[in-house]
A and B are shown apart, each in its own frame.
Chain A
């Protein structure tokens, strides 16, 4: 079988031994896969300097096992990685999300397009908090973890005016007396990704809970990593 060029984004790279790199890439045609780039840490290697997070690459891989071997990289098709300093923590967070949430080896065009759009924004260093929230919401949707924004999960009825709703992961919104809850109007706005008028912290917490439920209790490291240290 002839080996084909594949488009992909690099999610994460780590050293393997003194000279090689193991990378996780999100390919358009095969989904997330792990690749071994032998000798890639050597400046004379054809892979050197290309295996960076967020780089868009065109590659050929071989191998039948879970770990593929990188054999070619199209050096005419290498886009730059992202540059900070502003949103580096966000970028690392997003790639950790992708690493943790994506199943191995399952192509998903919608997700690929979504991620591509995010990387383009990141390259322009133009990611706002709200862009990140929209990305998280869309990510949950494409992965099948989407939040139900249409009905009260307990009463199975439409959301009513002048009522507040709390969010329970894997179930959805239900009527509650929590002053921190969401109004019907806010829920509709989130559904439509019209996030401007919604309290930022409340929104962030909603997504934190929703994403947390998809991770089976495993914590995302990048959440606590970048908290200020007190000495």
Chain B
């Protein structure tokens, strides 16, 4: 039996979050029938990304360069650092436009049961970076979960000569930033509390 690539594409699209069989069918037909140029561009970009994607040497955000766009942007406040759990948190905060400093992406939160340690989260690198880049304010934007709070207090325990604040206002308990709307995040950052 010959394989029909149409069905393979539909199947492939279902790996996307929130995409079931039905939406995958719609997407596949749209790409192959209605927008072939767009489809080609998507395929090429995806392939290039997969080849080039790495972690920013400074902030650990996903990027195709060795230093990401935000870290190399000299118009941003280099003395204010926002610590987040995941790459999507950076995008969520960026989309609000309310923060002009830089980021550090932990790629998780401390979880003894899952074996996620301070080393796994690059916390030693973070502490060195705070020291060498002469950061003046650290904003801890980890999630409002016991692990997120523990991660924030662990980092805070290692900082003494910088201003440290924690965002909490309006972020629902247990909420992860990627599910929180822009206004709420903007308010949370504005209403951060010094700890």
Contact = CB atoms under 8 A, between A and B. Distances in A.
A84 interface: yes
B131 A88 contact: no
B112 A91 contact: no
Contacts of A19: 17-18
Given A53-B145, A53-B146, A231-B131, A99 B174 contact: no
A222 B146 CA distance: 13
Contacts of B149: 83-85, 88
Given A19-B18, A92-B147, A225 B158 contact: no
Contact of B128 (A18, A52, A231): A231
A95 B175 contact: no
Nearest to A11: B113
Interface string B45-83: 000000000000000000000000000000000000000
A91 B173 CA distance: 17
Interface of B: 17-18, 110-115, 117-118, 123-124, 127-128, 131, 145-147, 149-150, 153-154, 156-158, 172-176, 179-180, 195
B144 to A, nearest CB: 9
A141 B53 CA distance: 53
Nearest to B127: A231
Given A52-B173, A221-B113, A228 B157 contact: yes
A54 interface: yes
Contacts of B195: 85
B173 A43 contact: no
A50 interface: yes
A226 to B, nearest CB: 6
A21 to B, nearest CB: 10
Interface residues of A, number: 37
B117 A52 contact: no
B114 A14 contact: yes
Nearest to B114: A14
A93 B179 CA distance: 28
Contacts of B146: 52-54, 81-82, 84, 88, 91-92
A12 B157 CA distance: 24
Contact of B17 (A18, A85, A231): A18
B175 A49 contact: yes
Contacts of B176: 41
A213 B109 CA distance: 29
A52 B150 CA distance: 13
A50 B110 CA distance: 20
A42 interface: yes
Contacts of A229: 118, 123-124, 127, 158
10 contacts: A43-B180, A52-B145, A52-B174, A80-B173, A81-B174, A221-B112, A226-B154, A229-B118, A229-B124, A231-B128
A220 B153 contact: no
B150 A84 contact: yes
A223 to B, nearest CB: 8
